Amino acid sequence: MFNAVIDAPFGKVGIRLEGEAVCEIVYLPESVQSVAPDTLLARQAAGQIERYFERASAKFELPLAQVGTAFQRRVWQAISDIPPGVVLAYGQLARQIGSVPRAVGQACGSNYFPIVVPCHRVVSSSGIGGFAHTGGDGFFRNVKRWLLAHEGIPYA
C-alpha cells in the first residue's frame, strides 16, 4: 500500500511512509492507479518529486527512514552529493569511498529512495549501466534514460 502514487513522465511514482519518515520510493508503470497523498508528509514528498520533474535542480528535504546497511548508506550519501547533470562511473564512486565497483552497483540497485538519492547519476564506464538490479533494456532502464535526459545527459 502506498501513501501516494503520483504521475511521472515515465509512468508513476509510489511513495511509502513509516511513521514520520519516507521509507520507500518506487517506480511504477503507468497502469497503476494514482493515490492522492494521505498525510502531510506524503503531500510534501509528492510535491518535491513533482518539482524535480519540472526542474532537475530542485532540492529534496525529506525525512528518510534509516534503512539499509552501513555500507549502503555510505554509498547513498556519496550518491546524494552528485549534482544534477553530472554522472560518475561505478568505479569512480567506488574509489571515492574506498570500495569496489560491483559493491557500489549493488548498493545503487538497493536504493530505497530513487530520485531523492539519485542513483541514476551512477553509470557504467562503458554506457548507461543497470538500474534497480535489472540488466538489459526495459522499464527501469527507460526510467534511468529519462532521468538522465531530464538532467541534460542523453544516453541511447
Q: Which residues are catalytic?
A: 119
Beta bridge partners of 124: 127
Find the Cα–Cα–Cα–Cα dihedral 82, 84, 88, 93, rounded to 10°.
Answer: 10
- Give the type of residue at 81: D
Give 137's DSSP letter. S
Q: Which helix (H) or strand (E) holds 4?
A: strand 4-8
Listed in order, strand segments (DSSP E) in 10-134 are 11-18, 21-28, 88-89, 122-123
